[in-house]
Amino acid sequence: MYKLGGILIVEIANYPTPTESGLKRRLGEFTSLAEALDYAAQGQSGINFYSAKGVLLESLPYSLLKEQAKETAGKLLTLGLKKGDRVAVIAESDSDFSRIFFACQYAGLIPAPMPLPVAFAGKSAYINTLRGMIHNATAKAVITAQTIQSWTPEIIDGFSLCFGGTPEELMAIKADKDIELPIIDSDDISYLQFSSGSTRFPMGVAVTQKACLANVYAIAKYGLVVRETGDRCVSWLPLYHDMGLVGFFITPVTCQLSIDLLPTRDFARRPLVWLDIISRNKGTLSYSPSFGFELCARRAPTSTMELDLSSWRAAGIGGDMIRSHILEQFAIQYAQYGFSPKAFVASYGMAEATLALTFAPLDTGVKTDTVDLHILETDGIAKPCNDPHQSVRTFVLCGPILPGHEMEVRDEQGNILPERHVGSVFVRGPSLMKGYFHQEEETKRILSADGWLRTGDLGYMLNNEIVITGREKDLIIINGRNIWPQDLEWSAEHHFTALRSRDVAVFSVDTDEHESIVALVQCRFLDPQDRQTLQEEMVNLFRRQHGVEVSVILVPPHSLPQTSSGKLTRARARKMLLDGEFNISA
């Protein structure tokens, strides 16, 4: 149900849009996203919106999306917005966001998708973050969501806006019929993608039409190898994060693929609905960070659930460090439902590169590299090791750089390192951002004049594929050793069955005397003896496996901070600890 042109329209969704569009497949070869939707609108495919229980709520063919987006574009321009103005919009996985995002594309406006409250620990933190994003984007309009309508006054207070309200209020505006839509150039900014903010306050990544479509083309042609017929996308990923927005919203439209969307905020409670939709609609392309596969692996399908995952040919993993043991558990549990471990596709990317930079080869599954942890930490070399008596770490190979792009691993002096030597990852290519919006100094800090982007990630090359080992800012240096917090987190989560991924945050704390390592652990035990035992065993585990002393601090469940995309943010956790924000009573 929605209002368009002042008329209340009620739709009853009976069937999802068909998998086949009826058009000759084009893989993002357009000058703008508006042109891409114009082409997709000639076919039968579209976007389908499901409830938390997997009930089809609305089917939105691209033909109807085009019509509604153009009408909404007229409403936005009637408000007095001009080409290039920014529009902050809460990115619900619904048709309102779809219409508004593409309305901005037609109107020459720059949408800035904003996160939902579910990613934050409380109303106050959410509103403060949202207001910071709106300020950084210098937005002229703010479109909130119906679910947080009562918060709108606090969100928009003090901003000079042409509009601040819900999609329903926007749709009630009568458009000026004499307004003409502007011409969209390939160098125009298409949207602002706010970084997830794992190590700093989110900044708006300015992505041009040209860069976005270059990345979509590379993803579709070389990464996922989108087929002429038979491919269909399914996603629960948030549309305010690059993997959801570009991978499973923009890419399907620009490739004329039908997409089935589930609400992000309900995924953690009902993860198996994701698999059910893939099964029912014969989905072939779907992505998740490791924790999504973990949630499914921890829950067995009911006896009445008839799953068939044999159609799922590309089960992508990205968005965070890839945990191979979680994928193994998922593959074992769902093999009986037709899932093939060869469907796993490891990848690497970032918002500053629109989305994707590398893809592992299709139909090969997850490839890993197990290395000597001591040599890795002391010498920065990933030496293969299969000795069960040695401390080792297993990494996932994330594939070669996409065609048309370049990747180098460099040392601190800028020299290119040979294979298996860990260094800073640099990339260059047509998918890179124009820069951080209105942040020239921050842009210059990571993007060189000759187009090389310092990703902020550490890694090494192996057989022309990138292996990511961690973030530069997270690296802990103790007594000449480079210690990755992910190694300690992985050891704890792997050893203690009561722990889940993202239950442990490891970082260093500087004191006047020395640098120490702290592990914050989300503990669900209530018995004091169980809590003490977990602490003691974890301290011994870190001492035995990693040779380091770690202060283990137990914190309540759901208290470790995450970014809007669900990544653990160690920098924020460290600040919360130092500010005394955790309840750490025994």
DSSP code string of 75-113: HHHHTT--TT-EEEEE--SSHHHHHHHHHHHHHT-EEEE
Return the closest-CA partner of residue 518 out of 559, 562, 478.
478
CB 486 within 8 A of CB 449: no
Residue 8: pLDDT band (50, 70, 90) is very low
pLDDT in the model for residue 398: 97
Model confidence at 201, pLDDT cuts 50, 70, 90, reads: low
Over residues 282-311, the mean pLDDT reads: 92
pLDDT in tens, 516-539: 899 999 999 989 999 999 999 999
Q: Quick check: 5 pLDDT over 90? A: no
- Residue 479: is its pLDDT beyond 60? yes
Query: DSSP per residue over 173-199, as a string?
Result: SPP-TTPPPPPPPTTSEEEEEE---SS
| Side-chain half-sphere CA neighbours of 578 within 13 A | 11
Residue 2: pLDDT over 50: no
Q: What is the distance of C-alpha 221 from the center of its chain?
A: 21
Least confident range from 111-120, 290-299, 561-570: namely 561-570
% the chain with pLDDT above 90: 72
**Cα dihedral sign for 287, 327, 422, 513?**
positive
Residues forming a β-bridge with 482: 477
More confident residue, 67 or 581: 67
Q: Is the dihedral of CA 79, 211, 217, 185 positive or negative?
A: positive
Pairing of strands 163-165, 406-410: unpaired
Please state, in angstroms and rounded to a whole number, the distance separating the CA atoms of residues 544 and 38.
61
Q: What is the pLDDT of residue 565?
A: 59
- In whole angstroms, what is the distance from residue 516 CA to residue 483 CA? 12
How many whole angstroms separate alpha carbon 544 and alpha carbon 575? 28
Inform me whether the pLDDT recorded for 71 exceeds 80.
yes
**Please, what is the end-to-end C-alpha distance for the chain in angstroms?**
50
Our measurement of the distance from residue 34's CA atom to the centroid of its chain's CA atoms, rounded to an integer in Å, reads 23
What is the mean predicted confidence (pLDDT) over 247-258? 98
Tokens standing for 32? 């703008």
Poorest-pLDDT segment among 31-45, 189-203, 278-292, 443-457: 189-203
As given in the structure block, the two tokens for residue 67 are 């019509």
Residues 6+ apart with CB under 8 A from 511: none
**Lowest mean pLDDT across 10-14, 185-189, 383-387, 467-471:** 10-14
Could you give the CA distance from residue 249 to residue 232 in angstroms, rounded to a whole number?
A: 12
Dihedral of alpha carbons 571, 577, 581, 586, sign:
positive
User: Residue range 298-313: average pLDDT?
Assistant: 91
Q: Is the separation of the CB atoms in 255 and 27 below 8 Å?
A: yes
Nearest to 54 by CA among 276, 305, 287: 276
Most confident stretch, 101-115, 257-271, 556-570? 101-115
Nearest one of 382, 374, 552, 377 to 477, comparing CA atoms: 377
In angstroms, rounded to a whole number, what is the distance separating the alpha carbons of residues 440 and 443?
Answer: 5
* Strand pairing category for 423-428 and 453-462: antiparallel
**Which domains does the chain possess?**
2-270 (3.40.50.12780), 369-473 (2.30.38.10), 475-578 (3.30.300.30)
The confidence band for 10, taking pLDDT boundaries of 50, 70 and 90, is very low
Residue 507 has which token pair? Answer: 């970082």
C-alpha R_g of the chain = 24
Contact 534, 524 (CB under 8 A): no
Distance of CA 511 to the CA centre of its chain: 34
CA distance 567 to 574: 15
How far are the Cα atoms of 29, 195, 431 from residue 209, in angstroms, in the given order? 11, 18, 10
- Band (168; pLDDT cuts 50, 70, 90): very high
How confident is residue 564, by pLDDT bands cut at 50, 70 and 90? low
Q: Which residues of 461-487 are buried (b: 16+ CB within 10 A; e: fewer)?
A: bbeebbbbbbbeebebebeebbbbbbb
Residue 3 has pLDDT above 50, yes or no: no
pLDDT at 200: 53
What element of type H or E holds 555?
strand 550-555
Contacts (Cβ under 8 Å, ≥6 apart) of 303: none
User: Crossing angle for the helix pair 209-218 and 33-40, nearest 10 degrees?
Assistant: 50
Neighbouring residues of 342: CB distance < 8 A, sequence distance ≥ 6: 363, 364, 365
pLDDT at 210: 98
Residue 585 confidence (pLDDT) above 70: no
Query: Does residue 195 register a pLDDT over 90?
Result: no
What's the whole-model pTM score?
0.87
> How many CB atoms neighbour CB 427 within 10 A?
26
Confidence of residue 258 (pLDDT cuts 50, 70, 90): very high
Burial degree of 237 (CB within 10 A; 0-12, 13-18, 19+): buried
Q: What is the mean pLDDT of residues 284-294?
A: 94
Residue 264, helix vs strand vs coil: helix
The answer for residues whose C-beta is within 8 angstroms of residue 491's C-beta and 6 or more apart is: 541, 542, 545, 546
pLDDT at 316: 97
User: What average pLDDT does the chain have?
Assistant: 91
- How many Å apart are CA 2 and CA 190, to the nearest integer? 26
Crossing angle (nearest 10°) for helices 95-107 and 62-78: 60
Assigned token pair, 49: 């919106």
- What are 566's two structure tokens? 């669900």
* The one-letter amino acid at 498: A
Entry field: residues in the chain: 586
